[in-house]
């Protein structure tokens, strides 16, 4: 029963999480890096905000080794005149995120948590994309994303929860407006690479025992096998589990 002993990483959030396995997304990159090391579990729900997330906390989680949480982009949209839509007032958003963190901490003393803050947007790209509606365009602003991002980071600092400032990290690239998004909101492959780089940095630097960085975790069934491809000398086999196919990831 080796499989159940693997660490479980849960990705929980809205569409940025749900779509994280498509288009060379950040979830897919993590799943590839952690193949035979940890199970990446997707709990992504497009269109959700933190209010809805709080309602299902007791229904979606196992007892994972790591939970990566993202909410904020939809919450930070400006309120609609009808009162409908995904907007969640900032004080409620903070309390919802606090509830999520407290619930995750209660799962297990060994459950580790990383919160992702709201990233920036490309408003012009939203206007030109399939997402374009009057409200989709004006209802999202970089300033509101910044406010919700900073609130998330402040809460994480208060609660001793690891956090990643995506609003700042994305904008470190000079060409972020044209390379980081598919539609002005959701990440392109280049944007996802930034997310993965930041996640791996946290995992590498965290003083967690055991370490959850992908290089630190054992590879499942990594022993030599007579079923591996035969080396050119005909006397040995090639252990394919040792092959470095992960490029620049550290």
Q: What is the set of active-site residues?
A: 14, 183, 186
Residue 118 per-residue DSSP state: P
- Euclidean distance between CA atoms 129 and 148, whole angstroms: 24
The residue whose two tokens read 């288009």 is 23
For the record, the structure tokens of 155 come out as 């809460």
DSSP 164-192: E-HHHHHTTSTTHHHHSBSSSSSB-HHHH
Residue 222 per-residue DSSP state: -
Strand pairing partners for 115?
69, 163
Q: Write the burial class of residue 235 (CB in 10 Å: 0-12 exposed, 13-18 middle, 19+ buried).
A: exposed
For the record, the structure tokens of 152 come out as 């998330």
């Amino acid at each position: 029963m080796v499989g159940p002993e693997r660490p479980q990483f849960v990705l929980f959030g809205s569409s940025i999480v749900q779509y994280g396995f498509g288009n060379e997304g950040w979830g897919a990159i993590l799943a590839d890096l952690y193949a035979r090391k940890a199970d990446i579990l997707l709990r992504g729900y497009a269109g959700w905000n933190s209010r809805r997330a709080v309602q299902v906390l007791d229904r979606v989680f196992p007892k994972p080794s790591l939970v990566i949480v993202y909410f904020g982009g939809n919450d930070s949209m400006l309120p609609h005149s009808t009162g409908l839509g995904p907007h969640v007032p900032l004080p409620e958003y903070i309390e919802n995120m606090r509830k999520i963190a407290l619930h995750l901490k209660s799962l297990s003393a060994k459950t580790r948590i990383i919160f992702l803050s709201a990233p920036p947007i490309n408003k012009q790209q939203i206007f030109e994309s399939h997402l374009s509606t009057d409200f989709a365009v004006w209802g999202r602003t970089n300033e509101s994303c910044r406010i919700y991002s900073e609130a998330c980071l402040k809460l994480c600092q208060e609660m001793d929860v690891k956090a990643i400032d995506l609003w700042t990290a994305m904008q470190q690239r000079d060409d972020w407006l044209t390379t980081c998004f598919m539609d002005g909101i959701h990440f392109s492959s280049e944007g996802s690479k930034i997310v993965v780089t930041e996640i791996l940095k946290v995992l590498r630097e965290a003083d967690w025992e055991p370490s959850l960085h992908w290089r630190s975790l054992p590879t499942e069934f990594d022993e030599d096998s007579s079923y591996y491809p035969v080396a050119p000398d005909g006397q040995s086999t090639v252990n394919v589990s040792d092959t470095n196919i992960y490029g620049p990831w550290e």
